[in-house]
Amino acid sequence: MQSGGGGRRGRRRRGGGSQPMSEINVTPFVDVMLVLLIIFMVAAPLLTAGVPIELPETAAGPLPDEQEEPLAVTIAADGTVLIQSTEVAREELVTRLQAIAAERTTDKVFLRADGIVPYAQVMEVMGALNAGGFRNLGLVTDAGGPTLDADGQ
C-alpha cells in the first residue's frame, strides 16, 4: 500500500522537466511589429517636406534609375539655391559642390528650377555645377507639357 505523498510522480513535469520549451510565442512579436507599423505610417508623411516650386512641363520621358541617389539642386522662385534641402549662398555654391563631388561615386545631379526663375540664373547654377565637378546633369520637369510635334501632341 502506498502512502498519500505521491512519491516521484508529483515532481515530474510534462516533457521531462529539464528539456527546453520548443514553442515560440509570436504574440509579443506581432504586437511590436504593429506598433512600429503605426509609428512609420504616421511619421512617413512628415519626412517628405520639400520646397514648393512650380516646375515647367515637358513631353520628355523620365531618366532610368541609378543605384546611388542623385544629388538634387533646387532654384526656388525667389532665387535661393538649395542642395538637397539645405540652403546655400551663391558665393559658397562651387566650393560646397566640389566637397560633395569628392565624396560621391557618381557625378549625376538633378537640377530643379521654378518656372519663373530667369534663364540667366539657371545658367549660373549650371555653370557652378560644372565647376563643382558635376557633368551629368538632368533637368527636372513635370510631365504632360507641350511638344513641338507637327500635330501638336
For residue range 65-101, list pLDDT tens digits in order: 656 677 889 898 888 898 888 888 888 888 898 888 8
Complete edge-to-edge strand list for the sheet that includes strand 71-75: 86-88, 81-83, 71-75, 108-113, 136-139
Instruction: Indicate the SS3 state at residue 139.
Output: strand
Q: Is the whole-model pTM more than 0.75? A: no
Domains of the chain as residue ranges with CATH? 71-141 (3.30.420.270)
Q: How far apart are CA 146 and CA 139, in angstroms?
A: 16
pLDDT computed for residue 142 by the predictor? 74
Tens-digit pLDDT string for the chain (153 aa)? 555 555 555 555 555 567 777 788 888 889 999 999 999 888 887 776 566 777 777 777 666 665 667 788 989 888 889 888 888 888 888 889 888 888 888 878 888 888 888 888 888 988 888 888 888 888 887 776 666 665 655
Q: Which helix (H) or strand (E) holds 50?
A: none
In whole angstroms, give the CA distance from residue 110 to residue 119. Answer: 17
